[in-house]
Amino acid sequence: MNLVIDVGNTLIKLAVFNNNTLVLKKAVAEHTIIKTVTEIKMDYPNLVTAIISSVGKLQQSTLIFLESQFSLQVLSAEVMLPFTNLYETPNTLGVDRIALVAASVKQFPKQDVLIIDAGTCLTFDFINKQKQYLGGAISPGLQMRYQALHNFTAKLPLLEREMPAKLIGASTNAAIHSGVVYGVLNELDGVINEYKLRYPDLSVILTGGDAKFLSKQLKSSIFALSDFLLEGLNYILQYNINE
């Protein structure tokens, strides 16, 4: 059994896998992670291997604790990967993006795949059917756009995401929702269409915290997969154990 730890910008996600089957998933704040992992180990005594992916901040004491409890793999550009990484600056490639690409290799073998992670940022990652990762794009996510409108203006309010009732916003709040949400939706559809012009048999995966909110509004055909990053981390861990 494997423990997967995804340290994000706001929460830490923990997942237990029995081979390829997800059997437990939790999201916690960092100050509770040691207590939560201790409880998980009591419930799953055969849990001895783990992988951690971190794009957020993690206390050194927490990392030392995890290393004392598991055979721990810390995901980085130096870890063996189940694909060829052709990114020109591999050491700057986010570990979350690495995990998503790995998941696509496992679940969509021998296919051209575009993975879109709709979280704090929108990230686009492309891997071809030869298992060559070519790169992608990064732009602001939904909440970052709402935050930017508030932070960089004197009077615009900070709003929570909301699907616009109409395209034409008849109030300031409605105009913000229209601009942010339709802006993201049209960006997603536009990028997907550009990729499909070059790769007609493209498979598109949408994941991340805003995936469910956005998926039903997209014109493009996609796979909305909520646990894709966790599955990719588990696959990387298994790949390194078996090599």
Known binding residue 112? Answer is no
Can you give the pLDDT at residue 243? 64
Known binding residue 38? Answer is no
The answer regarding whether domain 84-232 maps to CATH 3.30.420.40 reads yes
Q: Per-residue pLDDT averaged across 32-50, rounded?
A: 93
Known binding residue 232? Answer is no
Residue 205's pLDDT band, with cuts at 50, 70 and 90, is very high
Q: Per-residue pLDDT averaged across 46-61, rounded?
A: 88
| Residue 77 reports pLDDT greater than 90 | no
Known binding residue 94? Answer is yes
Active site positions, annotated: 96
Residue 59's pLDDT band, with cuts at 50, 70 and 90, is confident
Q: Where are the domains of the chain?
A: 2-74, 84-232
Residue 212 CA to its chain's centroid (Å): 13
| Residue 57 reports pLDDT greater than 80 | no
Q: Is 84-232 in the same CATH topology as 2-74?
A: yes
Q: Per-residue pLDDT averaged across 43-57, rounded?
A: 89
**What's the mean pLDDT when you consider all of the chain?**
93
Q: Letter for the amino acid at 194? A: E
Q: What is the pLDDT of residues 96-109, one digit of tens each?
A: 999 999 999 999 99
| Residue 154 reports pLDDT greater than 90 | yes
- When the candidates are 3.90.1180.10, 3.30.420.40, 3.30.930.10, 3.40.50.11540, the CATH number that belongs to 2-74 is 3.30.420.40
pTM: 0.90
Q: What is the pLDDT of residues 156-179, one digit of tens each?
A: 999 999 999 999 999 999 999 999
Q: Per-residue pLDDT averaged across 60-88, rounded?
A: 92
